[in-house]
């Protein structure tokens, strides 16, 4: 989950790529409606209670990988 700086862009038709945004990357673990947000370093995120609240409505057990974007004004 950690981007690495390189001199040239990596390209391979067998890979799927996504843009790297300047935000917080996290895993959301949903288990029996209990939600934990975890950083790539394994630390618990507590700064996004609205995301946790929204995910508490998910009735499946799953893990989501995502990134929250920082707003610039």
Look at residue 60 and tell me if it is in a domain.
Answer: yes
Query: What is the structure's pLDDT at 31?
Result: 93
11-53 pLDDT per residue, tens: 888 988 776 667 778 899 999 879 999 987 889 988 888 889 9
Domain hosting 57: range is 23-69
Top pLDDT among 56 and 66 is at: 56
Query: What is the structure's pLDDT at 8?
Result: 86
Q: How far is CA 66 from the centre of its chain?
A: 2
Q: Which residues pair with 69 in a beta bridge?
A: 23
Look at residue 64 and tell me if it is in a domain.
Answer: yes
Give CA–CA dist 53/18, Å, rounded. 27
Query: What is the structure's pLDDT at 73?
Result: 46
Q: How many CB atoms lie within 10 A of CB 58?
A: 13
Look at residue 57 and tell me if it is in a domain.
Answer: yes
User: How many structural domains are present in the chain?
Assistant: 1
Per-residue CA distances from 5 to 20, 36, 55 (Å):
11, 29, 33
């Amino acid at each position: 989950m950690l981007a690495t700086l390189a001199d040239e862009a990596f390209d391979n038709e067998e890979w799927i790529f996504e843009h790297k945004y300047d935000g917080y990357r996290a895993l959301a673990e949903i288990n029996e409606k209990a939600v934990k947000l975890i950083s790539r370093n394994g630390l618990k995120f507590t700064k996004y209670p609205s995301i946790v609240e929204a995910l508490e409505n998910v009735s499946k057990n799953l893990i989501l990988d995502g990134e929250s974007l920082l707003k610039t004004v």
